[in-house]
Amino acid sequence: MANSSALADLDDSGRPPERAVVNYDYEDPAYRVFIDSLNYLKPEDIELVCAAYRFSDEAHRGQKRLSGEPYVTHPLAVAGALAEWRMDAQAVVAALLHDVMEDTKVDKARISERFGKEVADLVDGLSKLDKIESRSYQDAQAENFRKMLMVMARDLRIVLIKLADRCHNLQTMAAMRPDKRRRIARETLEIYAPIANRLGLNNISRQLQDLSFEHIYPMRFRVLTKAVSAARGNRRELLSKILEGIHGKLAEEHIKAGVFGREKSLYSIYRKMAEKHLSFSQVLDIYGFRVVVKDIAACYLALGALHARFKPVPGKFKDYIAIPKVNGYQSLHTTLIGPYGTPIEIQIRTQAMHHLAEEGIASHWRYKDSEESGADLQNKMHTWLQSLLELQSATGDPSEFLEHVKVDLFPDEVYVFTPKGKILALPRGATVIDFAYAVHTDIGHRCIAARIDHELIPLSAELANGNQVEIITAPYANPNPAWLGYVKTSRARSRIRQFLRGIQQDSASSLGERMLDQELQALGVTPAEVPATVWERIIHESGGKTRLDVYSDVGMGRSIAAVVAHRLAEHHDMPQHPARATAPLLIRGTEGVAIQLASCCQPIPGDPIIGLLRKDQGLRIHTHACRAVRKSRSTEPQNWVRVEWEPDPGQFFEVRIKVTAKNVIGMVGRVAIGIAESGVKIDQVTMDRKKPGLFTDVHFQVLVLGRSHLASLMRSLRRVPDVVRITREQEPS
């Protein structure tokens, strides 16, 4: 290319000044190889890419990487990766310019003017990924991923450029501080490599994993590299024998196929060793084989032929052609017993499947004129991204969002069927609840039971490949907070949390209204007589939208009821009534999540109680004798609320009792019978694990109506033979 400046018209407010003598070496071999790789583009597109290179070189002139190389070598390498994927000219140009907005004074307007709005938007999207203003690295990582999602949803080319950028950075991090290298490598393993895998970019995913492994564990990487190299030599004869056997059998059956060996990536070998506690010599499947045939029918013919030649390992066959992975991957996987009893992993696929397996979403650009699978995959990815956008809007908090999405980025799938035969892919370990939410949010909210293969099973049951799942719903059922302990999918977890937050909001609003009404009455103000204009002012000052927001802030401890009541009562036209002492708040024990009975002291009707209001935790009810109350009663007096039990709440309450008895056979059974005969339900039983002696302690959690019911139970138990002592436990044992 001609060595003329592409930026001669840039002014000194944002661009480098024009030089009288321009001495670029555009005949650099790396640049020439890059230009030669663009032969799939039109001549005018190649000219645009050349202009972009000159623009980038001028903008970054004088800047060097930590390795000492000119900075432009980095965008050139990133653009080269995109050229290998045969991406369009706009993506290649954006790759060349991806750092100019961050590292130089060139702005978006200038890029748009010179290379068009599409390129400017791509570069702007890439630049925004690096603008993080967060208090911690974890927050920064979460926010960065959230931004990446937003730009991915707009244009998938942005994430392809970002992955190529990250890959080249990992290849050239030798001059960086070790701690920074490890931090970047860990982030790559947690976020970027899984994204590449989710987009079907297997080649770059493996590269990112191995490069990250090298930076995190350099010594282990070197040792494993040496071991694999040695094994390669030792097993050469075995591999040749297997290849000959595969070729021979396929030729016998007149199946035309390309057969080649593949070596497991170093990181996948290391991960298998770590997860299964194996030594290197115990990892037998370091090598695998791929068989590429002309069409789907030939895939199954090849499978049958190889199963006739080598014995298959039971349970090790997977048909990803009939049921593709969520990232579009298709192949037949089988494990066979080869010569000398060595297991052989074989993947059988068509040429189109092979392109998709290696290049994923990028194959849409490389093969878009001849393949439909890339376009199908792009549609699937957009659907996935759209579901993540919905999840992000429902979650709000970037850290919580990242926690949810990491589940989707490691999808070791199980495939299950609806009663109508529809296939759903879920992460391994997914439960019936995950399935219900995958079908529809309302199905998840209303599910009460399920059948797997026509048998009733608990909602916490894990699903297995091939299960047919039928969900049983009830119109008045609601999500249980306990579900969060075993759901696996981000969709189910976020929907449950969203529902519970809504319940908490309603419960907090109800509590806040009761507390505020009592404070207003204590000031001589009738709540119904507070003018709407006063309420509007209070709502505006609190940053809320409705009166319910003010009530919710009071109920969740974000605002103090007495303070809000005084502000409401300040209006001079408000009718005044005789003030009276604030009445205690009446507690039933079933108010909802905004009012909780403290687990430390487990108050029950009849106990003297007091309420502790903490920000974003609602009201916690304690007994007067609780240690938590004794320790902090004198501090933060504005957080303590007078409460009393409602007469006859009419429900059961949890309480712990400790029974000390002689350590004899049948003692626990006799005590349990005594509890049952008192009309009390046992919720939980535990025994001390200390060395058995003459006496032992048995801890029961039981359900009682109140203090008098508990007293009756304890009197009854004292008549049980072998019982020495009974006490109520008001602190965790």
Tokens read off for 528: 């119904």
| Residues 139, 15: Cα–Cα separation, whole Å | 34
Buried residues in 294-321 as b, exposed as e (16+ CB within 10 A): eebebbebbbebbeebbebeeeeebbbb
Phi first, then psi: give them for residue 700, nearest 5 degrees: -115, 135
**Other beta carbons within 10 Å of 550:** 25
| Residues 328, 322: Cα–Cα separation, whole Å | 11
What element of type H or E holds 657?
strand 653-662
Q: What is the DSSP letter of 313?
A: P
| Residues 205, 380: Cα–Cα separation, whole Å | 19
Burial class of residue 649, CB neighbours in 10 A (0-12, 13-18, 19+): middle
Residue at 708: amino acid letter? S
Task: Give the chain's end-to-end CA distance (angstroms, integer).
Answer: 80
The answer to whether the CB of 156 falls within 8 A of the CB of 361 is yes
Catalytic pick among 88, 103, 253, 654? 103
Tokens read off for 567: 């502000």
Annotated catalytic, 102? yes
**Other beta carbons within 10 Å of 431:** 22
Pairing relation of β-strands 653-662 and 695-704? antiparallel
> Which residue is associated with the tokens 């040792």?
223
Catalytic pick among 102, 400, 403, 413? 102
Total residues found in the chain within this entry = 733
Tokens read off for 628: 């938590």
Q: Smallest Cα–Cα separation from 413: which of 387, 391, 434?
A: 434
Q: What is the DSSP letter of 382?
A: H
Annotated catalytic, 390? no
Q: What is the DSSP letter of 468?
A: B
Residue 345: alpha-carbon gap to chain centroid: 31
Q: How many CA atoms lie within 13 A of 299 on its CB side?
A: 23
Q: How many CA atoms lie within 13 A of 511 on its CB side?
A: 33
| Residues 210, 193: Cα–Cα separation, whole Å | 10
Q: How many CA atoms lie within 13 A of 658 on its CB side?
A: 13
Tokens read off for 204: 């770059």
**Other beta carbons within 10 Å of 719:** 8
Distances in whole angstroms, Cα of residue 604 to Cα of each of 277, 677, 702, 704, 709: 50, 21, 12, 8, 10
Work out the widest C-alpha separation in the chain, in whole angstroms. Answer: 107
| Residues 375, 678: Cα–Cα separation, whole Å | 69
| Residues 575, 396: Cα–Cα separation, whole Å | 42
| Residues 337, 326: Cα–Cα separation, whole Å | 29
What element of type H or E holds 697?
strand 695-704
Torsion angle defined by CA atoms of residues 454, 456, 458 and 460, in that order, rounded to the nearest 10 degrees? 0
* Residues assigned a catalytic role: 102-103
